Amino acid sequence: MFVDRAEIVVRAGAGGRGAVAFRREKYVPFGGPSGGDGGRGGSVWVRADPALATLLSFQHRRLFQAADGGAGAASNRHGPGGSDVEISVPLGTEISDAVSGALLADVVHLERRVPVARGGAGGRGNARFKTSVRQAPRFAELGEPGEERRLVLELRVLADVGLVGMPNAGKSTLLAAVSAARPKIAAYPFTTLEPQLGVVRRGEREFVMADIPGLIAGAHAGHGLGSEFLRQLQRCRLLLHVVDGAGVEGRDPVEDFRAVECELDLFSPELAMRPRVLVANKSDLDSFAANWDRLRILAGVEAVLAVSAAGRVGVDGLVDWLLQRLADMPPRYPQGEAAPPEVLVTARGLITATRDADGVYAIRGEAIERLVRMADLDNPEAVDYLLGRMLRLGVPGRLRQAGARVGDRARIGAWTFAVGQGGMPVVEEVADTATAEHPPACGEESEPRTDEGDGDVADGRTGEEAPGACAHRSAPGR
């Protein structure tokens, strides 16, 4: 069964959470923060497999999910990274986003892996936030969620020359005559049920030829088997239009030629403009001569050649003509020019603020959205750090330029806040559950934990030490 289109879901792993811990060891006063970073989530990659010819395997499995990264730990121990997932596809597979329709990758190289869903970064532990003015940070980052996409895979046969024509025109016989391919050949229509590839060699020169199942009238609208494979011709640099020049089955070869040309034009005007050659097959039969004079004057093709694929008559001349014509044509991907993207690119530094239809100002940008996704918004110190980063990234200025006023609402990802003076976010005070019942007096430290033994101490609930600092908020960014 030939399957040339499939839809799958890829889900990268989330990054591990950073740890909040402090070094409390005998004879080591002021050990400081020692929370390690979380591990990076696993990514999903696509790689070409020359052994595959169809997308049939994706009919049975549609979800591909990578592993999450591990959480950080005390003593500056980093969490393990999540394992990647690699998806094997046939060479020539196009990968598009099912939602936007954007082409993400074109798998045309055997030696390259294409990332289709990147794993989330691991959250930084509190040891990474220590500064001269923040010597005991009691917050860490959450792990970044991994990317999730719904993808459409479409197989495009990689061939230089594509054979096109009505059923029983002799396309499979011609492919077998010029290459080592052995397609099924029989005296009835639709013998070929899926594209067949063959490599044509002359000395050190070679090209790939593809035999596409026969087309009938209405193929562009879904009639016959040809509708499944018309798209396979889109990569071919040159089309070989094969007709039964002898009219063995009582059909008029001229009318067959015009019908197929019409189907190509209706399916894709660009495909109809592709360079092509008319090959009048079965020239060794007596009835061929009656049609040859009408075939040789047909317009819209670069040349009209007479061959007998079964008798190997005129085949060598056809191959020589194709080799010379392909040499004169530009390569599929010129030297130094890569195939379409293969790398997912995002503008990380760009930050924009626009007013959505619901009246809320949406702040967008890879850098700021990533900060919010990884911020522990339930931790007051983490929120203060986030506000400082927003100020340095110019978020208040973007809100002012967009026309935001005091009291308006704004959002970054799933986080919504009020706009204050100068465009600064106004964040509601975050209640600290560890000190809400018995808050310490200002300037007074809470009772330290009395764990027996040496080493790092962390909160048993979430990997955080129980905070006990003054409930007053520090300045943003400190």
Model confidence pLDDT, tens digit, residues 53-67:
778 889 889 999 999
| Residue indicated by tokens 């959205």 | 369
b/e per residue 116-147 (b: at least 16 CB within 10 A): bbbbbbbbbbbbbbeeeebeebbbbbbbbbbb
| DSSP assignment letter at 424 | -
Higher pLDDT, 473 or 3: 3
74, pLDDT greater than 60: yes
- C-alpha closest to that of 343 among 163, 95, 16: 95
Whether 117 and 8 have beta carbons less than 8 Å apart is answered as: no
Q: Of the given ranges (174-183, 338-347, 424-433), which has the lowest mean pLDDT?
A: 338-347
Residue-level pLDDT at 261: 86
| Residue indicated by tokens 């080493």 | 455
- C-alpha closest to that of 374 among 99, 128, 23, 32: 128
Its CATH architecture, for the domain 352-458, is 2-Layer Sandwich (3.30)
Residue-level pLDDT at 17: 96
Amino acid at position 156, single letter: R
141, pLDDT greater than 90: yes
Q: Rounded distance, CA 402 to CA 364, Å?
A: 12
> Could you tell me whether strands 238-244 and 276-281 are parallel, antiparallel, or unpaired per DSSP bridges?
parallel
Whether 322 and 242 have beta carbons less than 8 Å apart is answered as: no
Q: Rounded distance, CA 26 to CA 241, Å?
A: 85
| DSSP assignment letter at 28 | B
What are the extents of the domains in the chain?
5-155, 161-328, 352-458
Q: Rounded distance, CA 440 to CA 469, Å?
A: 7
Q: Which pair of structure tokens corresponds to residue 456?
A: 């790092």
Residue-level pLDDT at 290: 86
DSSP labels, 357-383: TTSPEEEE-HHHHHHHHHS-TTSHHHH
CATH of range 5-155; options 3.30.200.20, 3.40.1080.10, 3.20.20.80, 2.70.210.12: 2.70.210.12
Residue-level pLDDT at 24: 86
Backbone angles phi, psi at 301, to 5 degrees: -125, 160
Kindly report the number of other CB atoms within 10 A of residue 427's CB atom. Answer: 18
347, pLDDT greater than 80: no
- Residue 287 pLDDT level (bands cut at 50, 70, 90): confident
Q: Rounded distance, CA 213 to CA 191, Å?
A: 8
Residue-level pLDDT at 385: 93
Determine what percent of the chain falls in helix, strand and coil, rounding each to the nearest 5.
Answer: 20, 25, 55
468, pLDDT greater than 70: no
Per-residue pLDDT tens digits for 437-466: 334 333 333 333 434 444 555 544 344 443
Q: Rounded distance, CA 449 to CA 205, Å?
A: 78
Whether 175 and 197 have beta carbons less than 8 Å apart is answered as: no
Residue-level pLDDT at 273: 84
CATH topology of domain 161-328: Rossmann fold (3.40.50)
Q: Of the given ranges (145-159, 204-218, 294-308), which has the lowest mean pLDDT?
A: 204-218
- Residue 218 pLDDT level (bands cut at 50, 70, 90): low
Whether 115 and 43 have beta carbons less than 8 Å apart is answered as: yes
401, pLDDT greater than 60: yes
Residue-level pLDDT at 193: 58
- The three-class DSSP label of residue 71 is coil
Average pLDDT, the chain: 80
Q: Rounded distance, CA 193 to CA 437, Å?
A: 75
172, pLDDT greater than 90: no
Higher pLDDT, 285 or 269: 285
Residue-level pLDDT at 433: 39
Backbone angles phi, psi at 312, to 5 degrees: 60, 30
Whether 277 and 289 have beta carbons less than 8 Å apart is answered as: no
Work out the angle at residue 338's Cα, subtended by the Cα atoms of residues 336 and 344, and round it to the nearest 5 degrees: 140
Whether 377 and 383 have beta carbons less than 8 Å apart is answered as: yes
Range among 4-13, 103-112, 196-205 rated most confident: 4-13
What share of the chain in percent tops pLDDT 70?
Answer: 79
Kindly report the number of other CB atoms within 10 A of residue 316's CB atom. Answer: 13
**What is the widest separation between alpha-carbon atoms in the chain?**
109
Residue-level pLDDT at 456: 54
368, pLDDT greater than 80: yes
| Residue indicated by tokens 């979430």 | 462
32, pLDDT greater than 50: yes
121, pLDDT greater than 90: yes
